[in-house]
Amino acid sequence: MLDEQLGVSLTALLFQRLQPLSKLEQIANIADGIVVMSNWEVHYWLAKVSNGRKRPALKAMRVLLGD
């Protein structure tokens, strides 16, 4: 079971990453990749997309998740 902090972080990261996407298969692949991330990874990527340099972080996540 997810604790509240991790759940909020996962949701925030997921919405940040999925925002520009429209293909359902692409969205599902990214969502699956984010859900299996560790607590540390989720917080790392959330910090990356929240620090004002969102675009490079999202591009790196795309490469990482094989999108």
- The Cα 10–Cα 35 span in angstroms is 7
More confident position, 3 or 38: 38
Taking the whole predicted model, whether its pTM rises above 0.85 is answered as: no
Per-residue pLDDT band for 39 (boundaries 50, 70, 90) equals confident
- pLDDT of 48 strictly over 80: yes
- pLDDT of 1 strictly over 80: no
Q: What percent of the chain has pLDDT over 90?
A: 0
Question: Average pLDDT for residues 19-25, to the nearest whole number?
Answer: 69
- The structural domains of the chain, with segments of one domain joined by +, span 4-64
- The Cα 67–Cα 61 span in angstroms is 8
- The Cα 37–Cα 50 span in angstroms is 18
